[in-house]
Amino acid sequence: MTDQIEAEVVRHHEDLARWLGSEAEDGLLDTFRQMHHPEFSLVATDGARVDLVGLSNALAGARNAVPGLTIGIEQFQLVIRTDQVVVCRFLERHSVGSSRRVTAVLVPDESARYGVRWLSVHETTVP
The rounded Cα 15 to chain-centroid distance in angstroms is: 9
pLDDT means over runs of 10, the chain (127 residues): 89 98 95 97 97 97 97 97 97 93 97 96 95
pLDDT of residue 127: 84
- What is the domain extent for residue 56? 2-126
What's the CATH number where 115 sits?
A: 3.10.450.50
Output the CA–CA distances (angstroms, integers) from residue 73 to 17, 38, 90, in the order listed: 12, 24, 7
Q: What is the pTM of this model?
A: 0.94
pLDDT of residue 1: 54
Is the CB of residue 77 less than 8 Å from the CB of residue 90? yes
In the chain, the amino acid numbered 84 is Q
Interatomic CA distance for residues 21 and 99, integer angstroms? 16
How many domains is the chain partitioned into structurally?
1
Interatomic CA distance for residues 8 and 112, integer angstroms? 10
| Main-chain phi, psi angles of 18, to 5 degrees | -65, -40
Q: Nearest-CA neighbor of 55 among 124, 120, 114?
A: 120
